[in-house]
């Protein structure tokens, strides 16, 4: 017991002070043994954006904390867990992923590397990739310094519980012409929808889930100090209905591309004002 508590404390000591505060406020999520994984968000598209995130799983609930900066002040940033739970090893792209050579890493180019949207990290309502992928009216808005603080706990499917380490966090929205809004002068039209500025949909940062849990491990509901230690998610209690969930996810991804366009249209109203 002592050692678990000690290691958890040590892990959090390594996190930025600001994030620590968030974790402290929400300590109930960590009051029980819960695996938590750290994500370092690193810039894409020369945004200078960076941040730290934590993801933890307790039963079928995923909690995501994000503390980031370098987003466009006053603008909504679409943010997602990207990647797949079928074992495909997606990664965060670098500048070489700009295959059309226009000096902008757009979402389509980046998706080759970080995968499709798996979960939309909205601030409220559903988190389905298909219906909320670009529901920018429900995405966090960066403050006047371009910072975003986010925390949400959401139910997830068993395959996400099992494969959380295969997913990445991506925040979108860049400002090429530094005028604190998404507009067409900065980077032209989005490849997703010509009615949208590229600045609204291009990725600003990306981070992968690091392999080792920073917190201690057994998932809530499993009263044991053994067996569940390594992955923390090996219990049969959280696995079930996998086939159905996988099929639903596959369907969602197919629809996501189409919905992204209509969803993002909402952003234009707010963003161009």
Residues near Cu ion (CB under 5 A) are: 80, 170
Between 80 and 176, name the residue whose CB sits nearer to Cu ion. Answer: 80
CA angle, residues 25, 225, 209, in degrees to nearest 5: 55
Question: 138 and 150 in contact (C-beta within 8 Å)?
Answer: no
- Closest contact distance (angstroms) between CB of 32 and Cu ion is 30
Q: Helical H runs in the chain?
A: 2-13, 17-25, 28-31, 107-114, 129-132, 158-163, 184-187, 198-201, 242-271
Count other C-beta atoms under 10 Å from residue 151's C-beta: 18
Between 18 and 95, name the residue whose CB sits nearer to Cu ion. Answer: 95
Q: Which residue number places its CB atom closest to Cu ion?
A: 80
3-state secondary structure 139-163: CCECCCCCCEEEEEEEECCHHHHHH
Between 158 and 173, name the residue whose CB sits nearer to Cu ion. Answer: 173
- Closest contact distance (angstroms) between CB of 121 and Cu ion is 9
Distance CA 199, CA 109 (A): 14
Distance CA 33, CA 31 (A): 7
Between 170 and 249, name the residue whose CB sits nearer to Cu ion. Answer: 170
- Closest contact distance (angstroms) between CB of 94 and Cu ion is 17
- Closest contact distance (angstroms) between CB of 78 and Cu ion is 6
Between 217 and 256, name the residue whose CB sits nearer to Cu ion. Answer: 256
Q: Helical H runs in 124-241?
A: 129-132, 158-163, 184-187, 198-201
Strand partners, 168: 82, 208
Between 70 and 232, name the residue whose CB sits nearer to Cu ion. Answer: 70
- Closest contact distance (angstroms) between CB of 157 and Cu ion is 18
- Closest contact distance (angstroms) between CB of 79 and Cu ion is 7
- Closest contact distance (angstroms) between CB of 158 and Cu ion is 23
Between 161 and 167, name the residue whose CB sits nearer to Cu ion. Answer: 167
Quick one: 22 exposed, middle or buried, by C-beta within 10 A (0-12, 13-18, 19+)?
A: middle
């Amino acid at each position: 017991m002592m050692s678990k508590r000690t290691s958890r404390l040590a892990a959090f000591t390594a996190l930025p002070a600001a994030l620590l505060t968030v974790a402290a406020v929400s300590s109930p999520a960590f009051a029980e043994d819960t695996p938590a994984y750290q994500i370092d968000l690193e810039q894409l598209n020369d945004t200078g954006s960076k941040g730290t995130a934590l993801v933890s799983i307790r039963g079928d609930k995923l909690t995501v904390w994000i503390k980031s900066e370098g987003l466009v002040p006053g603008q909504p940033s679409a943010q997602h867990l990207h990647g797949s739970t079928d074992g495909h090893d997606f990664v965060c792209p670098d500048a070489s992923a700009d295959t059309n050579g226009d000096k902008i890493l757009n979402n389509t180019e980046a998706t080759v590397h970080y995968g499709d949207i798996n979960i939309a990290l909205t601030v409220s309502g559903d988190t389905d990739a298909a219906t909320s992928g670009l529901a920018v009216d429900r995405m966090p808005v960066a403050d006047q310094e371009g910072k975003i603080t986010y925390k949400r706990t959401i139910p997830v499917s068993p395959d996400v519980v099992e494969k959380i380490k295969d997913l990445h966090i991506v925040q979108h929205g860049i400002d090429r012409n530094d005028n604190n809004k998404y507009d067409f002068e900065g980077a032209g039209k989005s490849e997703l929808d010509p009615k949208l500025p590229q600045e609204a949909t291009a990725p600003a940062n990306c981070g992968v889930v690091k392999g080792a849990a920073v917190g201690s491990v057994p998932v809530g509901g499993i009263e044991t100090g053994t067996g569940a230690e390594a992955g923390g998610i090996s219990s049969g209690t959280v696995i079930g209905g996998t086939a159905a969930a996988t099929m639903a996810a596959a369907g969602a991804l197919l629809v996501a591309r189409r919905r992204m366009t209509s969803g993002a249209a909402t952003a234009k109203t707010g963003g161009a004002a």
